[in-house]
């Protein structure tokens, strides 16, 4: 990776001028201009300050350090690493605590890490190979053998899913082929993209929230996403509560 170009691309992608970034990083526009032109070689601390000022994900910060000729500083642990045992326990506590509403945790590729029992109501009827730990939840959502046939507003919901797959180009290309044409909008977007899903408990009307471990300094942990489903009407609340009760 060409460091000056990588830095310039990330700055322009965030629509920051050289002066804006220089002020954030505590340097001068002249110095930053020299770095981006290759006339000045930044020190390791300067690369870190620039990466932090650009608010880059930890993985990209490591990439920028490598491009500048420095070793990465943010570890990337295996999720099974004993050091992450407290994290695994916290995740299990969080998804269980969200009951009676569905909740799941995925990694940067959308592969399932954990889910609570009510998530079974979301996945019912899907092909077995699309469900369970390690499977891809985006493929589960849009594949014809997944939950797509049960989604009443599939075109709208699918575009919400595809918009989240910027770095997963191959998966996005695959899933885009399953998505029907979206009818012209009436111009009213509302406050969130809903999920209208048929289930054995009746139609579920849900919205989602996505949470990350914002203070993480481990790449693996920083890239985990907790997605929680919340009911938007009383019928859905009742259905989810009934589904979570012990049989």
Q: Using one digit for the tens of pLDDT, what is the confidence trace for 13-54?
A: 999 999 999 999 999 999 999 999 999 999 999 999 999 999
* pLDDT tens per residue across span 149-194: 999 999 888 988 898 888 899 999 999 999 887 655 554 455 567 8
* pLDDT tens per residue across span 102-121: 999 999 999 999 999 999 99
* pLDDT tens per residue across span 47-74: 999 999 999 999 999 999 999 999 999 9
Tell me whether strands 225-231 and 112-115 are parallel, antiparallel or unpaired. Answer: unpaired
List phi, psi (to 5°) of 196. Answer: -105, 105
The rounded percent of the chain whose pLDDT value lies above 70 is: 94
Tokens (6 digits) for 107: 């990694």
Average pLDDT of every residue of the chain: 90
pTM of the predicted model as reported, rounded to 2 decimal places: 0.82
Q: CA-CA distance, 77 to 182, in Å (whole number)?
A: 40
């Amino acid at each position: 990776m060409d460091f000056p170009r990588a830095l310039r691309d990330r700055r322009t992608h965030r629509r920051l001028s050289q002066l804006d970034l220089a002020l954030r990083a505590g340097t001068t526009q002249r110095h930053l201009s020299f770095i981006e032109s290759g006339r000045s070689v930044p020190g390791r601390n300067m690369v870190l300050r620039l990466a932090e000022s650009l608010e880059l994900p930890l993985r990209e910060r490591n990439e920028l350090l490598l491009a500048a000729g420095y070793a990465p500083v943010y570890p990337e642990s295996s999720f099974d690493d004993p050091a992450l045992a407290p994290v695994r326990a916290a995740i299990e506590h969080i998804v269980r605590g969200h009951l009676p509403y569905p909740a799941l945790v995925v990694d940067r590729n959308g592969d399932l890490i954990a889910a609570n029992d009510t998530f079974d109501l979301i996945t019912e009827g899907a092909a077995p190979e699309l469900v369970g730990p390690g499977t891809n939840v985006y493929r589960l959502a849009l594949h014809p053998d997944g939950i797509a046939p049960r989604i009443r507003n599939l075109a709208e919901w699918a575009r919400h899913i595809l918009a989240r797959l910027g770095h997963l180009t191959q998966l996005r290309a695959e899933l885009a082929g399953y998505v029907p044409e979206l009818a012209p909008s009436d111009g009213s977007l509302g406050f969130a993209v809903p999920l209208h899903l048929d289930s054995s408990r009746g139609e579920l009307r849900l919205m989602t929230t996505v949470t990350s471990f914002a203070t993480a300094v481990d790449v693996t942990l920083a890239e985990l996403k907790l997605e929680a489903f919340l009911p938007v009407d009383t019928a859905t609340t009742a259905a989810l509560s009934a589904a979570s009760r012990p049989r």
